[in-house]
């Protein structure tokens, strides 16, 4: 049996290029958890676990992700065959409840190792394999300033980097937020799609008003306007408005996907590998959506290069991706942690083609941004006797 011999889990803190304003927090940096493993054959894999705004967004924090991997997941891994990813993740699932982002980081590293061992990209190990080599990528306008957001949109349009724009709203009153969105849509016109993400910050009455006004403003979709648990409100809003409602925070794996699709509570799913608990669970979420007639969108937790590459491999395997993706995370950071950055051009992201994730870490930048500012030797995991 090929076993996991070494594990290193650490946090890197990287500043953002500008304040990133969400309904629940303003981000000035991103904290990324990296897990690096090596098996008994010497094959190395890397994964990432990233969340948004510490604990203001969800139940997992960077520090908690690292603790879950080091304290609870690593001991389970030492009993598993490193070549059997599904079996290893099932064993982890039996021993660790929740902690989807930590599980995603570990599964990503295992899939990276599996792809390298077989000499194929991770996307060929998911579902029926890769069906596309590049992905449309949205850019989030989240400075909170209308003029600045218009200037930013014009710049990335001119660079042919993005022609899909998602606006973070929900901090101001509904009408003020809609006026902000409408001004940006007027500036962009037919050159790009404009969408909004409320991050659960409206009640049903506010969402009812907001969705009506946003449709009139030319907005294409509204992401998670109400609380994630309020499926009844989501269903009523979806049935009432032409503008589609996209579920995001409400989706934490296949069970949520089934309930939301069955209730007609959303017409689009933002599929995130982190919230789903890994690439394999995210693929199951997408399969349920497609069976229920729900559109797909590749979501992000503002991951760095590792998590973004993993998400790209998942999205490359989905038969339908009508609403594109927002896998722009590395572009929001002042430094890229990959030796060769992911390639964004002509409004799309190229999916890596090398074995595994098809990426390598920039060790110097990792060492500089590593929170502990040290690079201890990989933790050796004892083999099962």
How would you write 6-41 as a 3-class SS string? EEEEEEEEEEEEEEEECCCCEEEEEEEEEEEEEECC
d(CA 220, CA 321): 16
Instruction: Map tokens 């930048």 to a residue.
Output: 365
d(CA 250, CA 247): 6
Residue 245 is predicted with a pLDDT of 98
Pairing of strands 379-380, 4-21: antiparallel
- The 10 Å CB-count burial string (b at 16+, else e) for 63-83 is ebbbbbbbeebbebbeebebb
**Sign of the CA dihedral running 314, 298, 66, 99:** negative
**Around Cβ 326, how many Cβ atoms within 10 Å?**
27
Residue 55 is predicted with a pLDDT of 83
State the burial class of residue 359 (Cβ atoms within 10 Å of its Cβ: 0-12, 13-18, 19+): buried
Residue 373 is predicted with a pLDDT of 66
How would you list the strands of the sheet with 26-39, edge to edge? 44-50, 26-39, 4-21, 379-380
- Please state whether the predicted TM-score (pTM) of the whole model is above 0.85: yes
* 191 CB-side CA count, 13 A: 18
Per the annotation, the verdict on 185 as an active-site residue is: no
**Sign of the CA dihedral running 82, 84, 89, 94:** negative
d(CA 197, CA 217): 15
Catalytic residue, candidates 116, 166, 168, 272: 168
Which domains does the chain show, CATH number per domain? 4-119+361-379 (3.30.390.10), 125-350 (3.20.20.120)
Q: Which two tokens stand for residue 149?
A: 């957001």
Crossing angle for the helix pair 204-216 and 231-240, to the nearest 10 degrees: 30
d(CA 271, CA 248): 7
Please, which residues have CB within 8 angstroms of residue 36's CB and are 6 or more apart in sequence? 7, 8, 9, 44, 45, 46, 109, 361, 378
Per residue of the chain (385 residues), what is the pLDDT tens digit?
Answer: 999 999 999 999 999 998 887 777 788 899 999 999 999 999 999 999 999 878 878 899 999 999 999 999 999 998 999 999 999 999 999 999 999 999 999 999 999 999 999 999 999 999 999 999 999 999 999 888 999 999 999 999 999 999 999 999 998 999 999 999 999 999 999 999 999 999 999 999 999 999 999 999 999 999 999 999 999 999 999 999 999 999 999 999 999 999 999 999 999 999 999 999 999 999 999 999 999 999 999 999 999 999 999 999 999 999 999 999 999 999 999 999 999 999 999 999 999 999 999 999 999 999 999 998 654 434 333 332 2
Instruction: Map tokens 């995370």 to a residue.
Output: 329
Q: Which two tokens stand for residue 50?
A: 């990233």
Residue 377 is predicted with a pLDDT of 39
């Amino acid at each position: 049996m090929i076993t996991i011999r070494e594990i290193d889990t650490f946090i890197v803190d990287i500043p953002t290029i500008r304040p990133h304003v969400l309904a629940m927090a303003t981000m000035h940096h991103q904290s990324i958890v990296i897990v690096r493993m090596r098996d008994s054959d010497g094959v190395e894999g890397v994964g990432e676990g990233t969340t948004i705004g510490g604990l203001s967004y969800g139940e997992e924090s960077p520090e908690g992700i690292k603790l879950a991997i080091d304290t609870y997941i690593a001991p389970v891994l030492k009993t598993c065959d490193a070549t059997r990813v599904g079996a290893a993740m099932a064993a982890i699932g039996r021993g660790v409840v929740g902690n989807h982002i930590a599980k995603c980081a570990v599964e990503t590293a295992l899939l990276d190792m599996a792809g390298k061992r077989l000499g194929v990209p991770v996307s060929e190990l998911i579902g029926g394999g890769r069906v596309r080599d590049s992905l449309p990528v949205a850019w989030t306008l989240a400075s909170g300033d209308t003029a600045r957001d218009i200037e930013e949109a014009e710049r990335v349009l001119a660079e042919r980097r993005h022609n899909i724009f998602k606006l973070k709203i929900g901090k101001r009153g509904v009408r003020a937020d809609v006026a902000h969105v409408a001004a940006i849509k007027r500036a962009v016109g037919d050159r790009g799609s404009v969408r909004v993400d409320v991050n659960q910050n409206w009640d049903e009455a506010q969402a009812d008003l907001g969705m009506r006004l946003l449709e009139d403003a030319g907005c294409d979709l509204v992401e998670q306007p109400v609380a994630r648990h309020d499926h009844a409100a989501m269903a009523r809003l979806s049935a009432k408005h032409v503008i589609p409602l996209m579920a995001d925070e409400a989706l934490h794996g296949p069970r949520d996907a089934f309930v939301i699709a069955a209730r007609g509570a959303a017409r689009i799913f933002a599929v995130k590998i982190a919230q789903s608990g890994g690439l394999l669970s995210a693929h199951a979420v997408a399969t349920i959506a497609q069976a229920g007639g729900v559109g797909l969108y590749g979501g992000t937790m503002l991951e760095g290069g590792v998590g973004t590459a993993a998400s790209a491999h998942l999205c490359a395997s989905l038969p339908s991706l009508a609403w594109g993706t927002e896998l722009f995370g590395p572009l929001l950071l002042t430094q890229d942690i990959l030796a060769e950055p992911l390639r964004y051009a002509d409004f799309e992201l190229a999916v890596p083609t090398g074995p595994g994730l098809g990426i390598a870490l920039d060790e110097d930048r990792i060492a500089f941004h590593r929170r502990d500012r040290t690079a201890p030797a990989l933790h050796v995991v004892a083999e099962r006797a």
